[in-house]
Amino acid sequence: MTTAVKRVGILTAGGDAPGLNAVIRGFGKTAINHYGMELIGFRDGIKGLVENRYVDLDGAALSGILTTGGTILGTSRDKVHKYIVDGEPQNMVATVQENLEKLKIDALVMLGGGGTAKNAKQLMDVGVNVVSLPKTIDNDIAYTDTSFGFATALEIATDAIDRLHSTAHSHHRIILAEIMGHRAGWLSLGSGIAGGADIVLIPEIPYSVDSITDTIKARIARGSTFSVVAVAEGARDSKDAADFQAARLLVDAAKTPEAHRAAKTHLANVADAQREHTFKLARELEAATGLESRVTILGYVQRGGIPCAEDRILATRLGTAAADLVKAGEFGILVAARGQGTEAVPLQQVAGKVKLVPTDHDWIKTARKVGTGLGD
Ligand code: F6P
C-alpha cells in the first residue's frame, strides 16, 4: 500500500476557520509536485462525499489561496453516519465508500475539528485510508498542541478587547465581550490575557455574579469606573452549569432510543433557556454595580478573513506533513502539531475527546497573578 497512493481526495468539514486554504495548498503542492499524486476536492464537506460532488485540484487551483479566508471547497456540518435525509438520520458510510471506489480514491484527507475526527473514524472503520488535520478556532481538539484558525481568532478577539477598553473607559461602563470557543475557554482566556480584560469567564470555571461584582466594585474603589469582561460563549454561572451538566448526564445515561430522544430534547431546551446568558449577566452586573453595562457579541467575525502569519505557517506545516504521511501509507491518524514538529496520532485516540482548559493551566495561573477576575 505504501507507494500505491495515486489519487487523493481532500475536504473541509465543520465550521470554517482561517487557514483551511493554506492547508489545501500545502498538502496539494507537496502531493502533486513532490509525489506525483492527483488531487480532487470534495465540495461542502461530508455532503460532497455523499452526493459525489467534487472538483479537480491542480497547480492552478492551488495558486493564490495561501492568504484567503474561508474554504475554496465549501463546508457543512453533516455527519456521515447520521446524515439527514428527508428529516431522518441515515448511515451513509457505504454510499461514501462506493463513491470513493468509483473515483479510484486511494486516500482521503479531512480537514476539521472534533466532529470531523469522528466522521474520519467512521470511514476508517470500514477501511477508508483517512488522514485528518486539526482545524478550529476553539483550540479544543485533543492530542494536538494547537489547531489552525486559533491564532487568527485570538488576534481578532484581542483586537476587539483592545477597542472595547477605550470606549468602556470613556463611558464608565462595563462592556461584556462574548467570545466563541464552544465548550472550551481557550479563546476567551487567551484574548483576555492578551487584551488585559479585567474579568475572564470560561466554561471550565463556573462563575458567581457576586464574585464578579466584588471584582468590579474593587476596581471602582481604586478609581477604575469601567470594566471589560471577556465572556466565553460556553461560560455559565454555577447553577446553569450544574443544570446543563445534569441534562448531559441524562443523555449519556439513556438506555433506550425513546429515553435518548427525550433526554436530547431536554438538553436542547436547557441550552436554549441559557442562550442569552451574556445579556442576563450584563443586566445583573448593572443592577449590582450601578455601572451601565453593554454586550458585544464578536460572533463570526472571529472565523472570517485572512489567516494570520502564525496560522499560515502552521497550516502549511501540517498540510505538507500530511502529504508525507499519505505517501508513507500512514492512515487512520490525526496530523497533530507537537512543538516545532508534527506527530501522527491514531484517530481512535482522538475521536470523541475534547481538550478543555485544565483549571491548573499556566494561562489561568498567569491571569490570576495579574489580578484578572475569573468569576470564582
Ligand atoms: O467550532 C467553531 C465555532 O465557531 C464555535 O466557536 C461556535 O460555537 C460554533 O462554531 C458555531 O457554529 P455554527 O457555524 O454552526 O453556527
Q: Which pLDDT score, from 0 to 100, does residue 64 have?
A: 97
Statement to judge: residues 187 and 282 lie in one domain: yes
In a domain, 277, yes or no: yes
Instruction: Output the CA 157–ligand 1 centroid distance in Å.
Output: 15
Q: Looking at the predicted structure, is the pLDDT value of residue 72 above 80? A: yes
Statement to judge: residues 175 and 313 lie in one domain: no
Q: How many CB atoms lie within 10 A of CB 221?
A: 8
Statement to judge: residues 298 and 325 lie in one domain: no
In a domain, 321, yes or no: yes
Question: 88-119 as b/e, with b when 16 or more CB fall inside 10 Å?
Answer: eeeebbebbeebbeeeebbbbbbbbbbbbbbb
Q: Looking at the predicted structure, is the pLDDT value of residue 320 above 90? A: yes
Distance CA 330, CA 278 (A): 45
Q: Is 136 touching ligand 1 by the criterion CB < 6 Å?
A: yes
Average pLDDT score over residue span 282-289 = 98
Statement to judge: residues 273 and 298 lie in one domain: yes
Q: Looking at the predicted structure, is the pLDDT value of residue 331 above 80? A: yes
Residue-wise pLDDT for 336-350, tens only, equals 999 999 999 999 999
Q: Which pLDDT score, from 0 to 100, does residue 36 have?
A: 97
Which ligand 1 atom is nearest residue 113's CA?
1
Q: Looking at the predicted structure, is the pLDDT value of residue 328 above 80? A: yes
Distance CA 15, CA 135 (A): 9
Q: Is 15 touching ligand 1 by the criterion CB < 6 Å?
A: yes
Paired sense of beta strands 130-134 and 107-112, if any: parallel
Statement to judge: residues 31 and 143 lie in one domain: yes
Instruction: Output the CA 103–ligand 1 centroid distance in Å.
Output: 32
Instruction: Output the CA 139–ligand 1 centroid distance in Å.
Output: 12
The helix, strand and coil proportions of the chain, stated in percent and rounded to the nearest 5, come to 45, 20, 35
In a domain, 251, yes or no: yes
Torsion angle of C-alpha atoms 279, 208, 284, 138, degrees rounded to 10: -10
CATH code of the domain containing 244? 3.40.50.460
In a domain, 196, yes or no: yes
Q: Which residues, other chains included, contact 156 with Cβ-Cβ below 8 Å and sequence gap of 6+? A: 298, 301, 302, 305
Cell numbers representing residue 289 in the block: 454595580
Q: Which pLDDT score, from 0 to 100, does residue 1 have?
A: 43
In a domain, 1, yes or no: no
- Cα end-to-end distance, the chain, whole Å: 54
Q: What band does 104 get if pLDDT is binned at 50, 70 and 90?
A: very high
Distance CA 375, CA 206 (A): 7
Statement to judge: residues 121 and 158 lie in one domain: no
**Burial of residue 194 (number of CB atoms within 10 Å: 0-12, 13-18, 19+):** middle
Q: What band does 161 get if pLDDT is binned at 50, 70 and 90?
A: very high
Distance CA 23, CA 71 (A): 10
User: Range of 191's domain?
Assistant: 154-303+359-369
Statement to judge: residues 230 and 330 lie in one domain: no
Give the 3-state secondary structure of residue 234.
coil
Statement to judge: residues 144 and 230 lie in one domain: no
Report which protein residue has its CA nearest ligand 1's atom 7. Answer: 182
Residue-wise pLDDT for 242-254, tens only, equals 999 999 999 999 9
Q: Is 303 touching ligand 1 by the criterion CB < 6 Å?
A: yes
Statement to judge: residues 265 and 311 lie in one domain: no
**Catalytic site includes residue 138:** yes
Q: Is 141 touching ligand 1 by the criterion CB < 6 Å?
A: no
Average pLDDT score over residue span 8-30 = 98
Active-site choice (138, 198, 237, 240): 138
Report which protein residue has its CA nearest ligand 1's atom 15. Answer: 15
How many Cα atoms occupy the beta-carbon half-sphere of 335 within 13 Å?
29
* Chain Cα centroid distance, residue 355: 10
Q: What band does 42 get if pLDDT is binned at 50, 70 and 90?
A: very high
Total count of domains within the chain? 2
In a domain, 91, yes or no: yes
Mean predicted lDDT score pLDDT of the chain: 97
Q: Is 182 touching ligand 1 by the criterion CB < 6 Å?
A: yes
Distance CA 351, CA 193 (A): 30
In a domain, 163, yes or no: yes
Statement to judge: residues 219 and 312 lie in one domain: no
- Model confidence, pTM: 0.96
Q: Which pLDDT score, from 0 to 100, does residue 100 have?
A: 98
Q: Looking at the predicted structure, is the pLDDT value of residue 258 above 80? A: yes
Statement to judge: residues 232 and 115 lie in one domain: no
Statement to judge: residues 242 and 200 lie in one domain: yes
Q: Looking at the predicted structure, is the pLDDT value of residue 2 above 90? A: no
Instruction: Output the CA 354–ligand 1 centroid distance in Å.
Output: 15
Distance CA 318, CA 229 (A): 34
Report which protein residue has its CA nearest ligand 1's atom 2. Answer: 15
Mutate to test the pocket of ligand 1, among 20, 137, 189, 356 (most ligand atoms within 8 A of CB): 137
Q: Which pLDDT score, from 0 to 100, does residue 7 have?
A: 98
In a domain, 374, yes or no: no
CATH code of the domain containing 84? 3.40.50.450
Q: Which pLDDT score, from 0 to 100, does residue 226 have?
A: 98
Q: Which pLDDT score, from 0 to 100, does residue 4 have?
A: 80
Instruction: Output the CA 70–ligand 1 centroid distance in Å.
Output: 13
Which ligand 1 atom is nearest residue 182's CA?
8
